Amino acid sequence: MTYPTDTALVHAARRRVWRKIGFLIHLLIFLLVNAGLWLINELHGGYRWSVWPLAGWGLGLGIHGLVTFLSLAGDGWVQRMVNEEAQRLRRQQA
């Protein structure tokens, strides 16, 4: 992946780090809230309703993880496409 300046490199690095941090915060909140829901469910007994928020939110967390880490892995692919398109445009102008 090539960046035109160090400023662009730092900006891209910060964006990638904040994406990862956002996912980790989501994961931490997911774990804490679902542990609390499970504990409430265990203390009151009866039907195990706590699996439903766990399943729904877990699906959302999984999608968040896929989007975060697949987009990070795909940054090089996108950058290559941008570079190729920029070269095509330069050739057309020449």
List the domain boundaries for the chain.
Answer: 6-93
Full-prediction pTM beyond 0.75? no
Q: Are 16 and 72 contacting, i.e. CB atoms less than 8 angstroms apart?
A: yes
Does residue 29 sit in helix, strand or coil?
helix
Mean pLDDT of successive 10-residue stretches along the chain, which has 94 residues: 68 87 97 97 94 97 92 72 82 84
What is residue 8's predicted lDDT score, i.e. its pLDDT? 77
Alpha-carbon distances of 36 from 1, 30, 33, 82, rounded to whole Å:
43, 10, 5, 46
What is residue 4's predicted lDDT score, i.e. its pLDDT? 60
What is residue 32's predicted lDDT score, i.e. its pLDDT? 98
